[in-house]
Structure 1
Amino acid sequence: MLRFSDRLFYKDWWNSNTGAECLRKWNVLIHDWLYTYIYKDLYENVFPKNKFLSKAVVFVVAALFHEYIVGISVRMFVPITSMLYLIPTVIIPFQNKSDNNPAFNVFVWFGFGFTISTKFTILTIEHFARINCPLNEETFYNYIIPRMFYC
């Protein structure tokens, strides 16, 4: 998939000066699709000239899609990805575009490490909770409600 030179899957996100620039360069294909088919329609038609609400909806759609992928791959639903996607939704729009503050970049990198480690930790806890607390009956709600809360 990556051997063709006409494909552009990511840019140099590690050299970004702002959090928004890093998110744009992280996955170019997905960013372009979200911008073209969701953000522009929301910004022009649904929430006219309201960037914050349009960005928030795009982040929610991306979070739900990521949650769906993780839920299918690990066969359990733990909405940690959706909760951790709220952090960039709230923080990144408040960053001043002309401000090249290195503290914000450190915060973004710390956020990447924190969110990834938190996802793995919570999914591991849930995995072992499902092993150690088997259920007598299998219902749809048993797949949705995390067992780590009551095991």
Structure 2
Amino acid sequence: MFYCFFHLWLNILAELLCFGDREFYKDWWNAKTVEEYWRMWNMPVHKWMVRHIYFPCLRNGIPKGVTILIVFLVSAIFHELCIAVPCHIFKFWAFIGIMFQVPLVMVTNYLQDKFRNSMVGNMMFWCFFCILGQPMCLLLYYHDLMNRKVNGK
């Protein structure tokens, strides 16, 4: 799916629309912290969030920590909508998963600072985000969808 969407579909779309900036992602798999992952994954969305939410909040005097929370809140809402609308199911698993990234960012940043030049942040990222987080979220939505079909709701 990653290859089909980020290598094929987005490049075909960029070619058709004469879109010159084709940096859709950076090497997110090498992220040392969760914060670094979010800066390298889905670059068009990251740049939009920085331009339209992060910097305007900072310019309006909102503290950096609160601004980051607002950015993740907006992201969480959009992630939930991207799943809930097509599936016709609002269970807030994606919302909770994205909002859980805020404390995970703080924990991985702390561990990366404590164990300099180590891969502890990368291991935390892979364990809590890629191995446990996203698959668990998908399983919860699948479970809820199957329950809805079985119960006829």
Distance 2:127 2:59 in 1: 34
Instruction: For 1:76, give the aligned amino acid.
Output: I
Q: Separation in 1 of the partners of 2:76 and 2:43?
A: 17
Task: Provide TM-score, normalisation by structure 2.
Answer: 0.78
Among candidates 132, 144, 149, match of residue 150 of structure 2:
132
Identify the structure with the greater helix proportion.
2
Q: CA offset at residue 15 of structure 1?
A: 2.0
Mapped contact 1:17–1:100 kept (Cα < 8 A): no
For residue 115 of structure 1, the aligned residue among 133, 148, 151 is 133
Deviations 1:49-101 (A, max 9, x none): x1111001100100100100101121211100111112221231351475343
Gaps of 5+ in 1: 136-151
Residue identity (%): 25
From 40, 55, 70, the counterpart of 1:57: 70
Distance 1:93 1:78, change over 3 A: same
Instruction: Give the aligned partner of residue 32 of structure 2.
Output: 17
Is 2:86 aligned against 1:86? no
Report how many residues are paired: 133
Whether the 8 Å contact between 1:13 and 1:26 is mirrored in structure 2 is yes
**Residue 9 of structure 1: SS of its match in structure 2?**
coil
Q: Which runs of 4+ in 1 moved over 3 A?
A: 3-6, 96-101
Quote how far apart the aligned CAs of 1:23 are.
1.0
5+ residue gaps, structure 2: 1-9
Instruction: Tell me if 1:101 matches 2:110.
Output: no
For 2:52, the equivalent position in structure 1 comes to: 37
Contact 2:69–2:102 under 8 Å retained in 1:
yes
**Contact 1:18 1:100 survives alignment (8 Å):** no
Contact persistence 1:20–1:92 (CA under 8 A): yes
Q: What amino acid does structure 1 have at the position aligned with 2:41? A: W
Task: Tell me if the contact between 2:30 and 2:122 (Cα under 8 Å) persists in the aligned partners.
Answer: no
Report the aligned-residue RMSD: 1.9
The alignment's TM-score, normalised by the length of structure 1, stands at 0.79
